Chain A
Amino acid sequence: MGVREALAGLARWSPVPVFPIVGGGARDLVRDLRLRPEVELVATPRHATLLLVAGRFPSGAIPGLAVVHDQIPVPRATVRWNGEVSDEISSARLVGGDEEDLIATLVALHREMMADPSRSGPPILPDVDAVEWRGVGPYGHGGKGMTGGTPYGRPLAERAGDRDGIELDQLPVTIGPWVGALPWGLELAVKLQGDLVQEVEVGPRLSTDPPTDVFSMATRKPMTVAVLELERARHHLRWLADALSIQGLSALGLRALRLGKILTPHHQREVRRLLAMVRRSGIFGLALNRAGGEVTGSQAKGLGPVARAGGVDDDARRDEPAYRELGFQTILHQKGDAAARWRQRMAEVTQSLDLSDRAGDRTAFGAGLVEGPRGRITANGPSPSVVVLDLLPQLLSGLEWGDAVSLVWSLDIDPTESVETHVDNRGAS
Chain B
Amino acid sequence: MNPLVAVVLIGVVMVVSVYLVAVIDTAVETRVSGGRGYARAWLAPISRAARLALQRRTVTERPDAEAWVLGPALLGGLAAVALTSIPFAPGVDVADIPAGIVLFGAALLQVMVAVVLHGWGANSVFPLLGAFRMAAVGLSMGIPFSLVLITTAIPAESLSVGAIIASQEGVWNVLRQPIGLPVYLITALGFSFWGPLQLPDGADLAGGTSAEISGTALLVWRIARASILVSLAAMGAAAFLGGYLGPWLPGWLWMIVKTMGLAALMIWSGHRIARARMESVVLLGWTVLLPVALVDVFVSGALTL
| Chain A residues packing against B (C-beta within 8 Å) | 4, 6-15, 17, 37, 43-44, 46-47, 49, 71, 73-75, 114, 117, 152, 171, 173, 175, 179-181, 192, 194-195, 245-255, 258-259, 277, 280-283, 286-287, 289-291, 400-403, 405-406
Cα of A14 to Cα of B50 in the assembled complex, Å: 8
Whose C-beta in chain B lies nearest to the C-beta of A120?
A: B56
B46 and A10 within 8 A (CB): yes
Whether B176 is near chain A, meaning CB under 8 Å from some CB there, is: no
Cα of A283 to Cα of B275 in the assembled complex, Å: 8
Interface residues in B251-296 by Cβ distance below 8 A to A read: 270-280
Q: Which residues of B contact A282 (CB under 8 A)?
A: 196, 273-274, 276
Contacting B54 at CB < 8 Å: which of A11, A246, A247, A252? A11
Q: Which residues of A contact B125 (CB under 8 A)?
A: 171, 173, 175, 192
Whose C-beta in chain B lies nearest to the C-beta of A16?
A: B51
Q: Which residues of B contact A251 (CB under 8 A)?
A: 28-30, 32-33, 271
Contacting B215 at CB < 8 Å: which of A12, A37, A73, A152? A73
Interface residues in B59-104 by Cβ distance below 8 A to A read: 61
B38 CB, nearest partner CB in chain A, Å: 11
B33 and A7 within 8 A (CB): no
B160 CB, nearest partner CB in chain A, Å: 37
Whose C-beta in chain A lies nearest to the C-beta of B49?
A: A10
| Chain B residues packing against A (C-beta within 8 Å) | 28-30, 32-35, 37, 40, 43-44, 46-51, 53-58, 61, 125-126, 129, 132-133, 195-196, 198-199, 202-207, 211-215, 218, 270-280
B275 CB, nearest partner CB in chain A, Å: 4
Cα of A194 to Cα of B33 in the assembled complex, Å: 35
List, sorted by A's number, 10 A–B pairs whose CB atoms are closer than 8 Å.
Answer: A15-B47, A49-B55, A74-B55, A181-B205, A251-B30, A251-B32, A254-B33, A280-B272, A282-B273, A286-B277
Cα of A311 to Cα of B133 in the assembled complex, Å: 35
Whose C-beta in chain B lies nearest to the C-beta of A34?
A: B33
Cα of A159 to Cα of B274 in the assembled complex, Å: 35
Cα of A402 to Cα of B195 in the assembled complex, Å: 16
Q: Which residues of B contact A254 (CB under 8 A)?
A: 29, 33-35
Contacting B274 at CB < 8 Å: which of A192, A249, A255, A403? A249
Known: A195-B133, A286-B280, A287-B277. A73 touches B126 (CB 8 A): no
B32 and A252 within 8 A (CB): yes
Cα of A9 to Cα of B275 in the assembled complex, Å: 36
Cα of A180 to Cα of B204 in the assembled complex, Å: 8
Known: A74-B55, A173-B125, A258-B33. A247 touches B214 (CB 8 A): no
B274 and A248 within 8 A (CB): yes
Q: Which residues of A contact B53 (CB under 8 A)?
A: 7, 11
The 7 A-B residue pairs whose C-beta atoms are closest, nearest first, are A248-B275, A10-B50, A254-B33, A14-B47, A251-B32, A11-B51, A73-B214
A13 and B218 within 8 A (CB): no
Whose C-beta in chain A lies nearest to the C-beta of B57?
A: A73
Q: Which residues of B contact A403 (CB under 8 A)?
A: 277
A151 CB, nearest partner CB in chain B, Å: 10
Cα of A290 to Cα of B57 in the assembled complex, Å: 39
Q: Which residues of B contact A75 (CB under 8 A)?
A: 54-56
A252 and B271 within 8 A (CB): yes
B93 CB, nearest partner CB in chain A, Å: 34
Cα of A15 to Cα of B28 in the assembled complex, Å: 17
A154 CB, nearest partner CB in chain B, Å: 8
Cα of A216 to Cα of B265 in the assembled complex, Å: 46
Whose C-beta in chain B lies nearest to the C-beta of A8?
A: B54
A369 CB, nearest partner CB in chain B, Å: 36
Cα of A235 to Cα of B110 in the assembled complex, Å: 45
B213 and A4 within 8 A (CB): no
Cα of A195 to Cα of B202 in the assembled complex, Å: 13
Q: Among B43, B44, B46, B276, find the residue whose CB has the most chain A CB atoms closer than 10 A.
A: B276
Q: Which residues of B contact A179 (CB under 8 A)?
A: 206
Please name 8 further chain A to chain B contacts, defined as beta carbons within 8 Å, in addition to the given A171-B125, A405-B204, sorted by A numbering. Answer: A10-B46, A11-B53, A44-B212, A47-B218, A248-B275, A286-B274, A286-B277, A402-B278
B40 and A287 within 8 A (CB): no
A43 and B203 within 8 A (CB): yes
